[in-house]
Amino acid sequence: MKKITDVLLLMMHRLHFILPILFCFFTIPINSIHSQEISFLFMGDIMGHGPQIRSAFQESKNKYDYQEVFNPLEEIISSVDFAVANLEVTLAGPPFMGYPQFSSPDELAVACKNSGMDVLVTANNHSCDRKNNGIIRTVKVLDSLEILHTGTFKNEDTRDRENLLILSKEGLHVGLLNYTYGTNGIPFTSPTFVNMLDSNLIIKDIESAKQKGLDKLIVFVHWGSEYQDFPNKYQTKFNQLFYRMGVDVVIGSHPHVLQPMIYKKEKKKEFLTVFSLGNFVSNQREERKDGGAMFRLSFQKKGNNIKISKKEYLLTWVNKSLKKDKYHYEILPCSKPTYNEKYFSNIEDFNQMQLFLNNSREHLQKNNEGVHEGAPYGYATIKQIKSDKVHLPSFRNKETLRKKRKKRKNES
């Protein structure tokens, strides 16, 4: 009997220490569970018209340099884990040429990387402008610069391995696929491959992607009618296919103007479509074509639940200015207070930017669903942005920004 009593006393003594620990474990508040987050920035069409090529040439150094084009956006582009843009030119080598069959200097891609871009999608209607050699050399240049890419491939074996681009951070895995509606009637031939907007191909690719343990899947698609403010039936048809197949986010390019951004949530299913980001940089100066939007997006995971935690667009405008008898291009985050009338040497340029800004806001505020404008360095209401009273916490992950800058410095 004494032995039994001793055992019971020992168990109670141990429970005296164990129970508080168990109590703390089972009463951890839900909001203290560790969360993971991965952020993205999507940009529209990077064009390379003839005047842009001539502007980038530095006579004194006898070389091309595009860095000034992206300098105003360096912090914003570097603020996310993965910055993704549509490279709508080939890097096919000389002779360099703009429309209709683009080939830009390699320095364009160098500037993209130096500004913080991580991924360039390459499937668009200009992918085959320099035929197979252009496709092959473009991917080789991007590989040499260690810029991630998808959409066009030097051969089908490479496509089998690299078609689904998986972007990962802190155990979160997001897949990216890229397709184009066409290649301006210039076909690709063996051994190269360009991802076409083909239902059978897309279904096969998405079903394969689902076997890779992804948390989310994004499709960057080149589609739509040029210079149209709204999606056509073709876009709507494929967008419905993406939804049915379980794609989470669709990012669109090609129309060269902005089209609506639609966010829908049904039960636990989120589906976000940006029908067109418009031009990121080009020589198109007509109204609506002289700017576009960047789209900033984050996924957050708590426990087994992953959702879109942030979603916003940032309007950008291409400033083409004449200095010392030469044109210069720069992409401005045009809602940033820095770019007021004092910034411009020509007041007409400022007025043109304001026209783009006002028209774009009116269009997107009226036609977007569940997506709003953000401030370049944080979140803000439209009223705050217009009054220039934006003093909010920065969106950017400072550690991400620091690492990207350090990496670029080491590689330069």
Rg (CA), the chain: 25
The pLDDT of residue 368 is above 60: yes
pLDDT for 383 equals 42
The pLDDT of residue 195 is above 60: yes
pLDDT for 392 equals 28
| Residue 311 near residue 296, CB atoms below 8 Å | yes
Cα 67 to Cα 73: distance, rounded to the nearest angstrom: 11
pLDDT digits (tens, 9 = 90+) for 264-283: 998 889 999 999 999 999 99
The pLDDT of residue 29 is above 50: no
The pLDDT of residue 33 is above 70: no
The pLDDT of residue 18 is above 60: no
Cα 398 to Cα 411: distance, rounded to the nearest angstrom: 20
pLDDT for 164 equals 98
The pLDDT of residue 396 is above 60: no
Q: Would you list the domain boundaries of the chain?
A: 37-398
Mean pLDDT rounded to a whole number for the chain: 87
The pLDDT of residue 188 is above 60: yes
pLDDT for 407 equals 59
Mean pLDDT over residues 404-411, rounded? 53
The pLDDT of residue 315 is above 70: yes
The pLDDT of residue 366 is above 90: yes
pLDDT for 377 equals 52
The pLDDT of residue 213 is above 90: yes
Which of these ranges, 27-31, 181-185, 329-333, has the smallest mean pLDDT? Answer: 27-31
Closest CA to 125 of 97, 151, 104: 151
CATH code of the domain made up of 37-398: 3.60.21.10
Of 57 and 20, more confident: 57
Mean pLDDT over residues 354-377, rounded? 92
Closest CA to 97 of 48, 47, 63: 48
Residue 37 sits at φ, ψ, to 5 deg, of -145, 145
Cα 412 to Cα 400: distance, rounded to the nearest angstrom: 18
Residue 155 sits at φ, ψ, to 5 deg, of -160, 170
Mean pLDDT over residues 197-226, rounded? 97
pLDDT digits (tens, 9 = 90+) for 112-121: 999 999 999 9
pLDDT for 303 equals 85
Of 394 and 50, more confident: 50
Which of these ranges, 12-21, 244-253, 382-391, 400-409, has the smallest mean pLDDT? Answer: 382-391
pLDDT band for 201, please (50, 70, 90 cuts): very high
User: In the chain, what percentage of residues exceed pLDDT 70?
Assistant: 83
| Residue 141 near residue 152, CB atoms below 8 Å | no
